[in-house]
Amino acid sequence: MKKNRTNISRVIARNVAEILTIGLVAFFIAPLILVLLNASKTNSQIITNALSLPTNWNTLIKNVVTIWNNPNLRYPQALISSTIVTFFSLSGITIFSAMAAWVLLRTRTKLSSAIFMMFVAAMVIPFQVVMFPLVKWFGVFSKFTGIPMLRSYFGIIVAYIGFGSSMSIFMFHGFMKSIPHEIEEAAYVDGCGKIKTFFYIVLPILKPIYVTILILNGIWIWNDFLLPMLVLGKGTPVQTLPLAVNNFAGAFLVSWDLMMTAILMALVPVVIFFLAAQKHIIKGMVEGSVK
Amino acid sequence: MKKPHNIFKKDPNRGLERDLRNQKLIFWLFLFPALFSFFMVQIIPFAIGIYYSFTNWSATAQLSIDWVGMKNYIESFKDFRFLYSTMITTIYTVLNIISVNVVAFFLAMLDTSKLKGRNIYRAGFFLPNIIGGIILGYIWQFIFNQFIPKAAAAIGFSYFSTHLMLGDVKTAVLAMVIVSTWQYAGYIMMIYVAALQNVPADLLEAAQIDGANAWHRFKNITIPMVMPAFTITMFMTLVNSFKQFDVNVSLTGGGPSTTFMGIAIKGTTLLAMHINETSSIYLNTAQARAKAIVFFLVIVSFSLLQVTLTKRKEVEL
Amino acid sequence: MKKLLVLLSLFMVFMSLTACAKKETIVITWKQNKPEIDAAVQAYAKAYEAETGIKVVATSCGGDSCNLGDMLKADYQAGTMPDIFPIDGIAAYNDWASIIADLSNEAWVQQTSVAYKVDGKTVGFPVAVEGWGMAYNKDLLDQAGIDPSTLNSYAGYVAAFEKLDGMKAELGIDSVVSMVAGTSMNWVTAHHNFNSLLSNGLAYGDLSVTNALLAGTVDQTRLDEYAKWVELLFNYADQTILTTGNYDAQVGAFLNQKAVFLHQGNWVDGNLTTATFKMAFAPHGSSAAVTDGIFVSPPAWYVVNKDSKHLQAVKDFLNYMVTSASGQKYMVTDAGMIPAFKNITLKPAGQLSQSVQAWVASGKVYSWDQYYFTDAFRTNTLGPIYDEFAQKKITLTEFEAQMTAAFIANKK
């Protein structure tokens, strides 16, 4: 009897929670729906009434084709460039940050604490402080060593690794603490070298964390405008997507229809990546590995 | 808490010198890539920036760069707009930290519960992070300036149909909190989700069998285990709120106007925007550097305090 | 995992070695500040290369999403300063003065009267001619029986506004004037409308009022007449657009015939291509006296980097733009600009641009003097005062008092 009552109340509670959640989600994606609606209208329609439903959904396809085929935009090339930059930056950030966080955590010396604090403190630095000195330094470095840092893939990828490592190291460090020493010691006793221990034991346990880090950094890098503008430059051979579509925002005339469409087009890979990566953030693998 | 454990302790079976060399080698090998990139784009430019803050550098084709000592710093502290920006940014930060973390944690709890369609909800909460720049401003300005007044009139909530939120400084700050929560909660939610996933299910089950109810389980198991995440998320929301720039520029543009110390000024110019204006509008790039460094020191102090406090409560296995 | 690491490092090495191959042809870099005409700019760059064999790399950066000043600073720091770039006034000139070339002997200098001159040297090529006044919807004025030629003094506008305001329902408008004063639009009040105080009614280039204000001396009569004009505009404007409207809202109201007047310049022609009514410019009514003219000037000038590797090619490029058919077509037909050169006879398509040309032809023009005041002063000191006034947080008297105090505090 008591069981039935608590079962029913649980079912009701769950349904209420479902409805509330749907409401919340609607609030969160409502502006995105606005983007979708407006990407399917012409510019004058958008200015007249941003909330109106599109009269002709084919406008969306027309806009996409316009953007894709525009010879000045070189959208397909920008897409490839963005993908290359994002992929290598993410790989770099994730792997190198995990490596750094692990040795900093497991080596209890004053030096390692100091280095860790330095990484964390750098999260506080506002980008405006380093903006111009960064460009100047890259220019000077390129001249002295011959390695092109500006207008090159190498430069922008190093830049993203540099900027993304602080937060990632901070996160890895925090979550690595909850990995019991016993696991690593067991591996060591079994004959695993430190490097093997890290790559084959520690990293897999951290899967939810590093997938999270991949997603968090990926979103920011994929949509970033300022750093590519400084390091890659506008109108140069290597352009990322935000650089390529920036001209839609004119000084007086903004092509809202094309901008909204460009945002939608940038959204698609992100959503796909997110949905695919999600399933790796699954329930605790810690207890599994202990057993 | 157990005594800190050095996994690199020497093993007599492997040779003392080899171990010492290995230990150091791996430490630096593993650290090098991240450290190199970090030095290239953060430390060195920051150091250059510190140097320039003591000069009259303008980043343009000036004929000579002269040392001016503490002049930029002294003038920063005399600048009443800098003072105002600091004040309003602090208020905004406090509101934002609470708002973002409460919403994000709530979303994370929803997300790790047994609701159907969680994966889609999670994507939905996270997507706002994607929209930035002028589109963000355009959409939310439309919502605040046109949609809300019309909706309020339809419901009969007359205050909001005649008073635009973006037209008054107090409500404009609230509007910024709403937009930045909308944009950022999903991001923080991901961190909480990762942490909640790490809470061992068998511990929770054991507690339930022992008779602990949902609230007790939450308070005594979940929250302590999620503490490392709290340290991270509190720190990140603190820092990101203080550094807020994009939402500020695109939503309010630094306005609306208000009167401070008898002079009309732009009322929601947060610190990052103020520093940017010092460089781009007041054309005083060197002073902007000085202000940015002061800004940096202030945030570092606050966050050091916060991290020390929350770290004490973390549980290390 | 290890394989990925190896791949990663190999790739980075590879990428760093494959720098962009540099060709031996002459390449000149041109930066301009209106992204919306980028298509026309790129087309002209290609045409130029086809006709002369010299490659032009053109980049557009401007508006809210790309700050040209910051981009130029970044370029300078990186060592990639462009060969041609725009300046809009004395502050920008001073930033780059040490690398700006003297263009006094160029052929195009003879064809224009509005080149940028400093200390007797010609240094700036006028990008275009722009102008603003009070843009009016001729059809609606006809319907209301108002003659535009009466719109050149404060009294004339008071009469017209009152009449139009009484006929709102009949004309189908929401407000008489589409005006903005909000923070992100304060360039309309503190840069443009402010200029009425400085130069309305004075001979072109007469800086007497400007210099007096820079010295902290305020002519209270002139200020009072000007303040009443501001109040008039604010009172007859749509309050939502006035306090929080953005550019599209302001121009949109005029485009959709919800307002009879628009406080903007001829650059809005690009936003009004779908307009179905006749329009033109009328003078501002910021004085009791008649002020029969509108404000005209180049908005920016191209300057040349004297450290350019191909200085002569760059100078030739500017001359070519003025003398060749493709250059003229680019400036007027494709980019829709009013040319600043006597020899160009093409006319832009926009109604407001043609109105500006008509005013210029009749010699009834006033100068743009607002750039003698710093950007910071206009945007951050004056702008909020207009904003407070528009929100009715301060009275007319307080507005005048705060403006006066601002000028006195600004005294150099």
**C291-310, pLDDT tens digit by residue?**
999 999 999 999 999 999 99
Same domain, A273 and A147: yes
Given an 8 Å threshold on Cβ–Cβ distance, is C99 in contact with B166? no
CATH number of the CATH domain containing B254: 1.10.3720.10
Closest CA to A252 of B88, C80, C392, C60: C60
CA angle A93, A96, A100 (to 5 degrees): 125
**Residue B313: per-residue pLDDT:** 67
Over the stretch C48-103, which tens digit does the pLDDT of each residue have? 999 999 999 999 999 888 889 989 999 998 889 999 999 998 889 999 999 999 99
Same domain, A58 and A11: yes
Same domain, B287 and B253: yes
Neighbours of C215 (CB within 10 A): 13
Stretch among A105-114, B94-103, C162-171 having the lowest mean pLDDT: A105-114
Measured over all CA atoms, what is the biggest interatomic distance in chain C, rounded to whole angstroms?
Answer: 82
Q: How far is B108 from chain A (nearest CA, A)?
A: 11
Per the structure, the count of domains in chain A is 2
Rounded Cα distance, C238 and C240, in Å:
6
**Residue C256: per-residue pLDDT:** 93
Q: How far is B123 from chain A (nearest CA, A)?
A: 7
Same domain, B83 and B225: yes
**pTM exceeds 0.80 for this model:** yes
B145, B254, B258: residue with CB nearest C240: B145
Q: How far is A60 from chain B (nearest CA, A)?
A: 17
Domain presence at residue B7:
no
Q: How far is B258 from chain A (nearest CA, A)?
A: 26
Rounded Cα distance, B215 and B210, in Å:
14
What average pLDDT does the structure give for chain B?
84
Given an 8 Å threshold on Cβ–Cβ distance, is A252 in contact with C271? yes
| 3-state secondary structure at position A134 | helix
* Window 218-277 of C, Cβ < 8 Å to A: 247-248, 252, 255-256, 267-268, 270-271, 274
Are C340 and C129 within 8 A, CB to CB?
yes
Count interface pairs A-B at CB distance under 8 A.
270
Domain presence at residue B58:
no
Phi and psi at residue A59, to the nearest 5°: -60, -35
Cα–chain center distance at A45: 33
Same domain, A62 and A105: no
Given an 8 Å threshold on Cβ–Cβ distance, is C65 in contact with A139? no
Domain presence at residue B30:
yes
Domain presence at residue B3:
no
Percent of chain C predicted with pLDDT > 70? 94
Percent of chain B predicted with pLDDT > 70? 91
Summarize the confidence of residues A65-69 as an average pLDDT. Answer: 92
Over the stretch A1-55, which tens digit does the pLDDT of each residue have? 555 566 777 778 778 878 888 888 888 888 888 888 888 988 888 887 778 888 8
Same domain, B297 and B180: yes
Query: Which residues are CB-contacts of B203 (< 8 A; sequence separation ≥ 6)?
Result: B221
Containing structural domain, residue B18:
12-53
Neighbours of A157 (CB within 10 A): 28
CA distances from B109 to A174, B99, C231, C232 (A): 20, 16, 54, 56
Over the stretch B212-264, which tens digit does the pLDDT of each residue have? 777 777 777 777 777 778 888 888 899 999 999 989 988 998 889 999 888 89
Q: Order of strands across the sheet with C301-304?
A: C55-60, C27-32, C84-87, C301-304, C121-126, C116-118
Phi and psi at residue C304, to the nearest 5°: -110, 135
C81, C95, C183: residue with CB nearest B253: C183
Query: Which is more confident, C266 or A280?
Result: C266
A95, A138, A152: residue with CB nearest C78: A138
Beta bridge partners of residue C87, listed in sequence order = C301
CATH number of the CATH domain containing A83: 1.10.3720.10
Given A14, A43, A66, the domain boundary residue is A66
Are A213 and A93 within 8 A, CB to CB?
yes
* Window 34-63 of A, Cβ < 8 Å to C: 44, 47-48
Query: C: neighbours with 3+ CB pairs under 8 Å?
Result: A, B
Per the structure, the count of domains in chain B is 2
Neighbours of C216 (CB within 10 A): 13
Same domain, B289 and B158: yes
Same domain, A95 and A50: no
* Window 73-102 of B, Cβ < 8 Å to C: 81
Strands C134-137 and C259-262: antiparallel
Domain presence at residue B94:
yes
Residue A213 with chain B: CB contacts under 8 Å:
none
Summarize the confidence of residues B81-95 as an average pLDDT. Answer: 95
- For the cut 60, the answer to whether the pLDDT of residue B13 exceeds it is no
What domains, with CATH codes, occur in chain C? 27-129+298-342 (3.40.190.10), 131-297+365-410 (3.40.190.10)
Task: Find, in chain A, the residue whose alpha carbon is nearest to that of C13.
Answer: A154
Same domain, A46 and A186: no
Closest CA to C244 of B138, A47, B179: B138
Q: Which amino acid is at A243?
A: L
> Angle of helix C220-235 relative to helix C396-410, nearest 10 degrees?
130
Same domain, B190 and B90: yes
Domain presence at residue B5:
no
Same domain, A76 and A108: yes
| Predicted-assembly ipTM surpassing the 0.90 threshold | no
Given an 8 Å threshold on Cβ–Cβ distance, is B296 in contact with A126? yes
**Residue A8: exposure state from Cβ atoms within 10 A (0-12, 13-18, ≥19):** exposed
What are the tokens at C4? Answer: 């990925």
Neighbours of A285 (CB within 10 A): 15
Same domain, B26 and B127: no
**Residue B20: per-residue pLDDT:** 63
Over the stretch A265-277, which tens digit does the pLDDT of each residue have? 988 888 888 888 8
* Window 132-171 of A, Cβ < 8 Å to B: 132-134, 136-138, 141, 149, 158-159, 161-163, 165-167, 169-171
Containing structural domain, residue A29:
2-66
Beta bridge partners of residue C124, listed in sequence order = C116
Same domain, B198 and B295: yes
Are C374 and C190 within 8 A, CB to CB?
no
**DSSP-derived secondary structure for C372-392:** GS-HHIIIIIIHHHHHHHHTT
Same domain, A199 and A87: yes
Rounded Cα distance, C316 and C26, in Å:
13
Same domain, B79 and B163: yes
Given an 8 Å threshold on Cβ–Cβ distance, is A154 in contact with C12? yes
Same domain, A62 and A74: no
Are C109 and C248 within 8 A, CB to CB?
no
Q: H or E segment at A172?
A: helix A153-176
**Residue C177: per-residue pLDDT:** 96
What average pLDDT does the structure give for chain C?
92
Would an 8 Å CB–CB cutoff place B124 in contact with chain A? yes
Domain presence at residue B174:
yes
- Per DSSP, B248 falls in state I
Would an 8 Å CB–CB cutoff place B32 in contact with chain C? no
**Residue B212: per-residue pLDDT:** 74
* Window 240-259 of A, Cβ < 8 Å to C: 246-256
Given an 8 Å threshold on Cβ–Cβ distance, is B139 in contact with A215? no
Phi and psi at residue C294, to the nearest 5°: -120, 170
Summarize the confidence of residues B145-172 as an average pLDDT. Answer: 85
Same domain, A240 and A169: yes
